[in-house]
Amino acid sequence: MGDSSKNVDVEQLIAYSDDLVRVLKDKRDINSFTQCLEHSKSLRSSCDSDFNQLQSSLQGKMGDSSKNVDVEQLIAYSDDLVRVLKDKRDINSFTQCLEHSKSLRSSCDSDFNQLQSSLQDYQKKIDVCKKKTEEAKSEVAADAEIDLLQKELEINDLELQSIPLQERRQALKKLEQDEMRAEVLILNTLDELEMLLLH
């Protein structure tokens, strides 16, 4: 009783008891407190059940032979890897393979880029060739048409100057035949020119 800390503890305990009595004085407070205790017990029981189930599950997995086999295989694989890389020559060989692989990849990328550039150049040349072919066709057709018209004018002048009516009819018929032959000749010439330009 001479110890002041003990006196303080007893006094605090008495005060706590008085507070508890006041809180539980009402029947509703008692019922609420009882329900809390029951809920706490139920929650504790559920936690214990979950813990036991988890512990049992872990023990079952630790005892599973397939898991043990996997671990053993992993250990064996690690040992093999250590043995392979134990010798410095093996490490150097592995490093050289990696470097060679990188070099080969770089070379392939370079070849691919060069090939792609060449294909683009060839496509440009093909487009230019097509354009020149079209222009040449147009020029040849225009020149042939001018020559044909010039010949027609010359023939017409001759007919009007010196050929009687019957002869003019025959001349016109011959002129039509000549025109047809000239058209066929022009078409054949254009086809041959196109073949030459493409090859």
Structure tokens at 182: 């000239």
| Geometric angle at alpha carbon 157, from 154 and 162, rounded to 5° | 125
Is the distance from CB of 155 to CB of 175 less than 8 angstroms?
Answer: yes
State the pLDDT at residue 108.
Answer: 75
| Geometric angle at alpha carbon 116, from 134 and 197, rounded to 5° | 20
State the pLDDT at residue 144.
Answer: 73
Q: Which helix (DSSP H) or strand (DSSP E) does residue 163 occupy?
A: none
Q: What is the pLDDT tens value at each position of the chain, 199 positions in all?
A: 445 444 446 666 666 666 666 655 555 555 665 666 666 666 667 666 766 776 666 565 545 544 444 667 777 767 666 666 566 566 666 677 767 777 777 777 788 888 888 888 878 888 887 788 777 777 766 777 777 777 877 777 666 666 566 666 777 777 788 777 777 777 666 666 666 666 5
State the pLDDT at residue 139.
Answer: 74
Can you say how many angstroms the Cα of residue 53 is from the centroid of all Cα atoms in its chain?
Answer: 47
Residue that has been written with the tokens 């134990």 in this structure: 86
State the pLDDT at residue 146.
Answer: 75
Q: What span, in angstroms and rounded, lies between the C-alpha atoms of 149 and 141?
A: 12
Q: What span, in angstroms and rounded, lies between the C-alpha atoms of 94 and 108?
A: 21
